[in-house]
Chains A and B, each alone.
Chain A
């Protein structure tokens, strides 16, 4: 497998007279956060390996407005939304995949009312489809065989949009042991980053939310904490470091697990 990632932009595709099957919405974290960029690359590796005809917006992408809306600034949110919708509609985008549950939720649920109607899926749902269609094969008894993996449900994927199965089915395909935390799925505890908390200090309390959640994870003694959200990833990584467990427990996105298992 060559190391060069093929990442065509919408503009390039259009110039070549082509149109992609799906747009990959990278999101701000996926574009700029060093840790999240690795998740973005894992998604691209999978898309490349399966020859999915996709494109990104590149410099034409802008924040969906999620943190602005959750912070109560509807003006900034709608400005962002209208600008993005204009770009997406100009490219006649029909289907969008994203690795960020916040972008996923906003694009899927909050853009239609403003004129942006797309089929929006989370990357775990896309990957699940690719595996089910036989486009992506994982090595039998691969590197995760026998490993204990627990999945932390991102609020904006789980409770907000009822996606619980796709990431779990992917983990089960790894020959790994999926262990559930005492609070999971509809009862999953937030990592502490949602609702614009990522961008501010927490209010006065006796504990950080990500520490409380990391304790849930440590209880089941996993080798890996899997997530499906760049912000959950940051919070859980910090939580694991807080307990000095970063040498024993990895915090990885489901896409990274699949990319590794497929030796991509």
Chain B
């Protein structure tokens, strides 16, 4: 029987990682459809930021209750990976708890630690389901979450509960088998005893103590296989879900904008034009340096006009809505929601990626991020206050996308709220956003 289990496991492993890798490569390809941006500088500062913000979850802790709940799930997720290594080795070699004889007391400690974290994670997951579906925390029930995003969020939480349940079946079942002298743990075959794992040594007998030996073995095997099947399912669900932040949070924070938040990007293409305009010695009839060069679009109409970092931001967003909850426009009933900006960007880049896969790189579906997904009314409601950027626990920058869409609207389509046309004309004519003469700038000095 053992060889059959090994083959099934090997096939599952290959298929699981195969699909996962294909999907990751597709996401990578999609992200690289964005424009270039150099974020290779300041490596030390970048590692520090990643350690603090991504690994240390520094920004989460401005809101302690969800921060602690989230920390429980995060810690359980990270530490469980250790046990997962053993499960992979066991699965491929047909062993049972292969590390146990080598690690001795440390093994008991590690598994106990994982069990304690799993119980905390279980509680946190139930609390999150409750916050989302019963308590209805405002940022978790906004309209942009209707449909798939809401289901996605609940599915992940349910997956986690199922996963933890399987771990407890596996360890609890094995515990009772050990109590009865039926365990396969190396060195303890035929002996009666206890693993002494913190949770399962109590929970096992409590839940499964009354079962027959056969049922018990089924519980342990269902736990083991159920757990690993959930791991493969989760692995492949992850990159289709908002929950992919568990992976992308790290690179996304590493490549954060390290400049002051108030500094908006400089458009070099415009700098060249303006320099030429101001240069009195420039030949107005000069031929362009490269007549075949297609000029880059000003700002962003579609996702390919954004930078790869904007697109990485979109894939890293887990739709927690801290940005939207802090947004002054959203709080006062305007249509703008920074979270929706990120969700739209992700949906659109997925669509563009799929179009390219199906119809080739030049296919035009007649849609665009600005217009088909994000409207005028949304981008013009932004006060550029940076609250969304400040709040994001993984340093996503929705403001940068909003500004790029404004640039496209104004500089390519000359479309903007009419009052702004007046403001811009005033700046161009008299050097102030209002109609006052530049010559009068010092008049205040002599006014009473």
Tell me the chain A residues, 2-41 only, with Cβ under 8 Å from chain B: 5, 7, 9, 26, 28, 30-32, 37, 40-41
Interface residue A89 (Cβ < 8 Å from any Cβ of B): no
Chain B, residue nearest A160 (CB): B262
- Cβ–Cβ < 8 Å partners of A162 in chain B: 260
Contact B274 A109 (CB under 8 A): no
**Contact status A203-B260, CB under 8 Å:** no
Asked whether, in the complex, the Cβ of A28 is within 8 Å of the Cβ of B386, the reply is no
Q: Is the CB of A63 within 8 A of B385?
A: no
Whether A114 contacts B431 by the Cβ 8 Å rule is: no
Interface string of B366-384 (1 = CB under 8 A from A): 0000000000010011111
How many B residues touch A, CB cutoff 8 Å?
68
Report, as a range, how many residues of chain A touch the other chain: 35 or more
Q: What chain A residues lie within 8 Å of B443 (beta carbons)?
A: 31
With CB as the reference atom, state the residue of chain B lying closest to A198: B433
The stretch that binds B, out of A76-84, A127-135, A142-150, A166-174, is A76-84
- One digit per residue, 1 when the CB lies within 8 angstroms of any chain A CB and 0 when it does not, for chain B 413-443 equals 0001101101110011001111010111111
Q: Is the CB of A209 within 8 A of B273?
A: no
If A31-B442, A78-B271, A82-B278 touch, whether A195 touches B262 (CB-CB below 8 Å) is no
- Shortest distance from the beta carbon of A219 to any chain B beta carbon, whole Å: 15
Question: Is A61 in the interface zone, CB < 8 Å from B?
Answer: yes
Question: Which of A183-191, A220-228, A242-250, A253-261 participates in binding chain B?
Answer: A183-191
Contact partner of B427 (CB less than 8 A), chosen from A80, A186, A193, is A80
**Do B439 and A190 touch across chains, with their CB atoms under 8 A apart?**
no
Binds A, one of B4-12, B120-128, B328-336: B328-336
Docked complex Cα distance between A28 and B382 (Å): 22
Contacts of A71 in B (CB 8 A): 406, 410, 416, 420, 423-424
In the complex, the answer to whether A28 meets B433 with C-beta atoms within 8 Å is yes
Pairs A–B under 8 Å by Cβ, sample size 13: A58-B441, A59-B438, A62-B432, A70-B264, A78-B267, A105-B263, A109-B259, A159-B261, A159-B385, A195-B382, A197-B383, A209-B329, A209-B383
Which residues of B line the A interface, CB within 8 A?
A: 62, 259-264, 266-267, 270-271, 273-275, 277-278, 298-299, 326, 328-329, 331-336, 377, 380-387, 389-390, 403, 406-411, 416-417, 419-420, 422-424, 427-428, 431-434, 436, 438-445, 447
Interface residues of A (CB under 8 A from B): 5, 7, 9, 26, 28, 30-32, 37, 40-41, 56-59, 61-63, 65, 67-76, 78-80, 82-83, 105, 108-110, 113-114, 155-156, 159-162, 186-187, 189-190, 192-209, 211-213
Given contacts A72-B409, A200-B380, 9 further A-B contacts (CB under 8 A): A31-B443, A67-B423, A70-B406, A186-B62, A187-B390, A192-B383, A199-B420, A204-B334, A209-B331
